[in-house]
Chain A
Amino acid sequence: MSRDLYDLLDLLAAVAFILALKGLSSPRTARRGNLIGAGGALLATVIVFFYADTPDSLPLNNLGPILAAIAVGTLIGVPAARRVQMTQMPQLVALFNGVGGGAAALVAIVEYLKLGATASIAVLIATIFTVVVGSVSFSGSIVTFLKLQELMTTRPVIFPGGRFVIAATLASIVGVSIWVVVSGGTMPLLILGLLSLLFGVLFVLPVGGADVPIVISLLNAFTGLTVAASGYVLEATLLIVAGTLVGASGTILTRLMAAAMGRSIFGILFGAFTAKPIDAASDGVARPVKSGTAEDVAILLNYAQRVVFVPGFGLAVAQAQHTVRELADLLTAKGIDVAYGIHPVAGRMPGHMNVLLAEANVPYEQLAEMEEVNPTFAQTDVALVIGANDVVNPAAKTSPGAPIYGMPILEVASAANVIFLKRSMRPGFAGIENELLYDPKTTLLFGDAKASLTAVVSALKAL
């Protein structure tokens, strides 16, 4: 294949990526957009095997191991993507992003080993950028994975002098980068990689659980930029285009997500160092709450005229989507007005709850976004909060200094009655107490969301 043909086909792949992102921005075209993107990626991968600088350089060196490595990656990636529960998807995306960043860093290291002292300053800088940001993205994504999988605490991790350790690590990264440029040796680059891995961990540790998705999006944009930089090192235009597209769109997406949560990106990354941690759960006295039975809840629902369901991650974990739908159908049959109030970040990521409810075939017309549903709570008789906590927590409006302060919430407190279906008094993912639980108009029904809903459904049928 000639260079010109190769470049033209690469251009085609680049156009496919642009169309993919464009398509993914609208519900009607999203799936097609993703397939177009996959097609572009496949095209770009296949043509590498057929392009030759000189006629005798085909087939590629190490062709067997290359194909085997692709097979291994596919055998790991496809089953992981197919089997993951929809509730665990955010962590999988974080992992996929992390390995992408790791791959970019490795590519830059190998190219550096080969070029050695012959690399130009511009190439060296691009290499350093790729190694640093790729490694940060890799280790940072692993930490976000551990947080989302709840293999480690979801609260911000702060240790004494943390910000000085971070500053010192960052200063060392800059110092070692200069060392790499001056000496051109292998050892400094490896040290740089290790320092960057450390920085990635330190950078994500102070981020609270609820903000983790925004960090994933930010790291996603970072990985895009590393791919663009390695494209410059390898003189591969497609990598520059694809990486830059992801870097730019990822930056915008990160800002949109942060806006949806009423947070600034700066506040998310550094807020834990400046805000005073409030230990709401620390007063140690168990305050009285009003807990009810499934029958009490059924009676409240039966005499309501309007009911709003507020689904949260707990609903998804209990796989209670179908039972909620059964309850909603039952109420609708009684002439009660039913809606679902969907917080933009209900679940673990923006839009996550929509994916989960779509999985349960909940009618799309009943899903109301936060801005639509908030003004209607005053006319709502019962707000039924199912496995959600942070997204209805009034602390977001009333407690400056709370990790979620400033996040728009679903104002269920304006409804005449609030029912929480919860497993325990344990606070939500953000790790803060919810005052609404102690409100006189709140009833709590403890238990697994699915079991509780099933009991409510039977009680309602028995009335």
Chain B
Amino acid sequence: MSDLIALVSIFVLAVFIGFEVVSKVSTTLHTPLMSGANAIHGVILVGAIIVADHSKTTLELVLSLVAIVLATINMVGGFVVTDRMLEMFKGKKK
């Protein structure tokens, strides 16, 4: 199996998992779920670190450092705000 096909296979399988895991979520949780999914795509931070490591010119380095800052805000802020939201749901089942 070529690399391209392997990556496409991963992509297709992930699409189905993504569809499946959220197919029956109540409206109550739409907001936290959106926020949580939002935090997960902050993992682009990993990509930003990789390109910063490979940077050869100042321009590349500056752009990748900006990407790191933005991605970190996305990831860290996203998980923290989702947790704050979900904290309010706790203890409501008495």
Contact = CB atoms under 8 A, between A and B. Distances in A.
Interface residues of B, number: 81
A248 B15 contact: yes
B33 A24 contact: yes
Chain A interface category by residue count:
35 or more
Interface string B45-73: 11111111111110111011111111111
Contacts of A122: 4
Given A244-B11, A358-B88, A70 B72 contact: yes
A61 B50 CA distance: 10
Interface stretch (A164-172, A197-205, A228-236, A311-319): A228-236
B30 A253 contact: yes
A216 interface: yes
B41 A60 contact: no
Interface string A7-36: 000000100011011101111101101110
Contacts of A18: 17, 21
A246 to B, nearest CB: 5
A306 B46 CA distance: 56
A103 to B, nearest CB: 4
Interface in A135-172: none
A232 to B, nearest CB: 6
B77 A80 contact: yes
A217 B43 contact: no
Given A216-B34, A351-B30, A227 B44 contact: yes
Overall SS of chain A's interface = helix
A262 interface: no
User: Chain B contact residues: over half helix, strand or loop, or mixed?
Assistant: helix
Contacts of B60: 110, 113-114
Contacts of A81: 76-78, 80-81, 84
A364 interface: yes
A236 B44 CA distance: 10
Contact of A41 (B7, B31, B42, B55): B42
A74 interface: yes
B8 to A, nearest CB: 9
A418 interface: no
Interface string A234-261: 1111111111111111111100110010
B63 A224 contact: no
A92 to B, nearest CB: 6
A29 to B, nearest CB: 10
A66 B84 CA distance: 28
A30 B47 CA distance: 27
Contact of A20 (B40, B66, B88, B90): B40
B32 to A, nearest CB: 6
Contacts of B61: 62, 65
Contact of B85 (A77, A78, A223, A355): A355
Interface stretch (A82-90, A374-382, A392-400): A82-90
21 contacts: A20-B36, A24-B36, A37-B36, A45-B43, A65-B61, A73-B76, A89-B85, A93-B81, A96-B74, A99-B73, A104-B47, A110-B67, A224-B41, A235-B3, A239-B44, A240-B11, A249-B21, A250-B37, A351-B31, A354-B89, A355-B89
